[in-house]
Amino acid sequence: MNLTRKVNQNEQFATSSEFPSSLKKKYLITIITLIILSILNISLKSDKVNSKIWSFSIEFKVTSVTLVLVFLLWLPILLPWFISLFPQLQGSLNWLRQQGIEEVETNLLRIKLRYGVEEASQNYEEKILNVASTNLTSQETYQQVEKRYRDAVTLVNATSDIDATEALKRIEQLGHYYDRVRDEMPSGNERTRLMREISSIMWALVPKVVNFPVYAKLNSNNGGERLSAYKYIEWQPSIEYVNLLLSRAIGVLEMPFGQYAALLALRRIVRSNKLIPTQSREIIDILNWLANLDCIEGSRRKLMIEIVSTLEASK
């Protein structure tokens, strides 16, 4: 595991040590301009006898400032090579870059401990988010999932009281953490683990909010806010969100983790509500088609199959 972590860190650093092309271009233009200005000594003088006569001269002179600028010009090329010679320095820089993510992890633990939602969020993460590990018949899956939700809701209700305003504030904070993790971490198991933890804490806090702004969150440009809305609908399923959740589960707005969250909420709705036949048929056809695509991985495919099985059994 340590070896794998070290390899991942090296790959991460190799990616982060390169300047983005647009930034690199601006950097080079700026340094070259400064070099040209540093070697030019431009003077404009008037004649001492006749003030109407002016003289203009240009001198080329290399100074210590010029040498420093030349070094900065080569820095983007020299820096990756220099760091590659010193693994210890590379590890230190990786460590500094990881401090932001470690801060997120620390604050997630503080939220769980401070508001007494550690057990509820852990139960939700282990018993509901981890649906891919079950291999049961349709009826057994239905009964098991319903029991898991009942247990999860019981644990949420048993957590310490938290003010509704404070709960919403912490959910918004978790949404920012989610966006930060998505933007700053490379895709992989570690990023997925953190996003699952954020999602599970949201689940534990959402029931404490009064008048949750569902549509405002659903239509937000931020993935973290949309995730909080999916958690709310999963806790309080309503048929009015079916079409929107279906579009999010199969559309391009959400990345796989967001699609997975939308599918969880959609599954809860179809288990708790009776859909009209035409709407049920449409969802079955779409999810059956999507589940057969190679780009859909196991966990999302499993949820799609469960939703289809539920709808077909309720006809």
Q: What is the pLDDT of residue 6?
A: 39
Digit-coded pLDDT (tens) for 86-121: 665 555 555 545 667 888 888 999 999 888 899 999
275 pLDDT higher than 60: yes
pLDDT at 1 over 60: no
Asked whether the predicted pLDDT for residue 9 surpasses 50, the reply is no
pLDDT at 188: 87
Average pLDDT over residues 215-232: 96
Show the CA angle centred on residue 285, arms to residues 228 and 314, nearest 5°.
80
pLDDT band of residue 283 (cuts 50, 70, 90) is very high
What pLDDT does 3 receive? 33
pLDDT score, position 313: 85
pLDDT of residue 62: 66
How open is the CA angle 92-102-91, to the nearest 5 degrees? 15
- pLDDT exceeds 50 at position 8: no
pTM of the model: 0.68
Q: 42 pLDDT band (50/70/90 cuts)? A: low
**Residue 16 pLDDT > 60, yes or no?**
no
Cβ proximity of 79 and 17 under 8 Å: yes
Mean pLDDT of the chain: 80
pLDDT at 35: 73
